[in-house]
A and B are shown apart, each in its own frame.
Chain A
Amino acid sequence: MREVDQETINEIRTTVYEYFSDECDVDISEISDETDVIGDLEGDSLMLLSLLEIFRKKYELSIELKTLGKHLMKKPADTVGQVIDLTVEIVRHGNDIVNVDL
């Protein structure tokens, strides 16, 4: 398990906010942790996969889509805040996220 400090969490938060702002053409001030990715931003799976690729490169993550998909079935990431929490968990646990107690 990797230690994730507050600086990294802030970095992830900033990246997620900026990504959705750019991709969805929405002012960043209109996005909050409660914003629904699909309902409010018209986001989709391709966006989430692209975001995952950004973090995979940035933090050299080892994660499989099958693992992530199974995790999402147990704990969906519907809001921006949940996407941030999910990303922190992926950085922390990598592919072992499937073994994390929810």
Chain B
Amino acid sequence: MTSSTWIFESSEPLHSCGIDAEAVSRFEAVALEESPMPLVFSKEEAAHARTAEHPAETLCICFCAKEAVLKALETPYDFRSCRLFPDAGAGAAPILLDDDLAREHGVLTKGRLEYRHSDGGGEVIAAAYLFCEEDDH
């Protein structure tokens, strides 16, 4: 078992957070498809991943983020209403929620994803942070 410490600071009040981990290899075949997992990834996300240096890793990061958001929201939602366009090596990316989804859960439309790789590099570990208005906290 591995352990990892995450330290996160933000000027906006934290509403909730969630984590997830997936193996990049599980997205290798999906990344070759013209429209990978259309219930999960929007056309824009698919296009972003297709042009990325590491398409499978990019899809893996996006999937982890969407699963982490699911855990943060604690209720099912349409994965395509949460959009991400990460650069595989950046380690962080904005989480863009549709207005309706954000309003339904009382969170801001812009959250934050932080991710890193396991020691061997084959697995992505992601943490999603969702924020709320100051008054709601």
Q: Which residues of A contact B (CB under 8 A)?
A: 45-46, 49-50, 52-53, 56, 63-66, 68-70, 72-73
A66 touches B67 (CB 8 A): no
| Residues in A neighbouring B76, C-beta threshold 8 A | 65-66, 68-70, 72-73
User: Which residues of chain A come closer than 8 Å to B79, judged between CB atoms?
Assistant: 65
Q: Let me know if B131 is at the binding interface, CB within 8 A.
A: no
Contact A53 B39 (CB under 8 A): yes
Contact pattern, B 51-89, Cβ under 8 Å of A = 1, otherwise 0: 000000000000100010000000111110000000000
B37 CB–A CB distance under 8 Å: yes
A-B CB contact pairs (8 Å), 25 listed: A45-B67, A46-B22, A49-B37, A49-B39, A49-B40, A50-B37, A53-B37, A53-B38, A53-B39, A56-B38, A56-B39, A64-B39, A65-B39, A65-B40, A65-B76, A65-B77, A65-B78, A65-B79, A66-B76, A66-B78, A68-B76, A69-B76, A69-B77, A72-B76, A73-B76
Chain B positions within 8 Å of A64 at CB level: 39, 78
**B residues with CB within 8 A of A:** 22, 26, 30, 37-40, 63, 67, 75-79
| B interface SS class | loop
Q: Which residues does chain B contribute within 8 Å of A66, judged by CB atoms?
A: 76-78
Can you name 11 extra interface pairs (CB under 8 A) apart from A53-B39, A66-B76, A69-B76? A49-B37, A49-B40, A50-B30, A53-B38, A64-B39, A65-B39, A65-B40, A65-B76, A69-B75, A70-B76, A72-B76
